Amino acid sequence: MDNGDLALTERSIHLCVDMQRLFSAEGVWPTPWMPKVLPRCTALVAHCPERTIFTRFLTPQNAGQASGAWRELYARWPEATQDRLEPALLDLAPELAAFVPPAVVFDKPVYSAFAGHRLAAHLAERNIDTVILSGAETDVCVLATALGAIDHGFRVVLVIDAVCSFSDQGHDALLELFRRRFSRQAVTADNETVLRFWKA
């Protein structure tokens, strides 16, 4: 990576994906690397909380309220539906929730934060051109959100040590995919580098 490619300015925003209790050790879908990644996500938020957006993955009330293949997913994981889930597990990790406001939260029922046009419109209103991505999971919601950002014309900076997955193999494969296939539209960088180049 050429550090000059970062060029993080006031038109850059940090999008922290689904760092919720749902994916912590106490949740239904625990992500083993989340405790290691959380301090790095927190450092990115603390650097510029007013330019941070959190997303939360909200599950349906029950499997019957889900559509298509989502219904099959929640039939397999009924404990993740809101009829059975402790509501607090949908909350952000407490370390991150403390930054709201000025950080804002966008809820979503699917993997990509860009499903629909609400987030894209919000970023356009704020004159954003670059999305700095952290969060969970690397090869699911982070991937879908990164591709959604690219589809909407935003440049993506994927913070490689501030994302995590349940699957180490999926995580590693996704990082390699970004380096090999999306290098014109996305940059990969570690947390320390992003903080050094991002002008708050």
Residue 71 maps to a domain: no
**Position 1 pLDDT exceeds 70:** no
Residue 185 maps to a domain: yes
**Position 109 pLDDT exceeds 60:** yes
14: left (phi over 0), alpha (psi -120 to 50) or beta: beta
pLDDT at residue 2, as a whole number: 43
Q: How many domains does the chain have?
A: 1
Q: Are 142 and 172 in contact (CB under 8 A)?
A: no
Enter the pTM of the model.
Answer: 0.94
Mean pLDDT of the 136-143 span: 94
**Position 147 pLDDT exceeds 80:** yes
Residue 75 maps to a domain: no
pLDDT digits (tens, 9 = 90+) for 31-59: 999 999 999 999 999 999 999 999 999 99
pLDDT at residue 97, as a whole number: 98
Q: What does the alpha-carbon distance between residue 184 and residue 59 come to, in Å, rounded to a whole number?
A: 34
Residue 133 maps to a domain: yes
Residue 86 maps to a domain: no
Categorize the per-residue pLDDT at 23 as very low, low, confident or very high, splitting at 50, 70 and 90. Answer: very high
CATH of the domain at 42: 3.40.50.850
Bridge partners for 17 per DSSP: 55, 135
Domain residues for 150?
Answer: 3-24+32-59+92-197
